[in-house]
Structure 1
Amino acid sequence: MIDGIWHLRGSISFDAAENDAIVLARLETLLKKQRKPISSRGTSGLVFDSPMWRNMFAPNWLAMIVYDRGSFQIDRSAASSARLEYDLRSLHCFIFCLFGAAMFFSVGSVGGNISRGIMLAVVAFCWLYGMNMLLAWVRIPRLIRKTVLHP
Structure 2
Amino acid sequence: MLDTLWHLRGSLPLPPSLSDAEALDQVEGFLAAECKQVLGREADRLAFRSDMFRGERNAVLAFFNSGEFQITARSAAGERMLDYDLSARYGFLACVVFAMFAAGIGAIGDGLRGALIGAALALAWIYGMNRLTASIRVPHALSKVVLRGHEEWNDACQKP
Report the TM-score when normalising by structure 2: 0.85
Aligned to 1:135, which of 120, 133, 136?
A: 133
Which deviates more, 120-129 or 40-49?
120-129
Report the TM-score when normalising by structure 1: 0.90
Shift of 1:135: 0.6
Structure 2 residue aligned with 1:74:
71
Aligned to 1:63, which of 52, 57, 60?
A: 60
Alignment-mate amino acid for residue 132 of structure 2: L
Helix, strand or coil: the match of 1:84?
A: strand
Alignment-mate amino acid for residue 63 of structure 2: V
Structure 1 residue aligned with 2:114:
116
RMSD: 1.6
Q: Which runs of 5+ in 2 are unaligned?
A: 150-160
Query: 1 CA distance for matches of 2:21 and 2:38?
Result: 15
Is 2:24 aligned against 1:29?
Answer: no
Alignment-mate amino acid for residue 87 of structure 1: D
Shift of 1:9: 0.6
Shift of 1:146: 1.2
Q: Which runs of 5+ in 1 are unaligned?
A: none
Structure 2 residue aligned with 1:97:
95
Deviations 1:81-117, CA, capped at 9 Å, x for gaps: 1111110011111111111111111222126611111
Helix, strand or coil: the match of 1:78?
A: coil
Helix, strand or coil: the match of 2:59?
A: coil
Helix, strand or coil: the match of 1:71?
A: strand
Paired residues in the alignment total 148
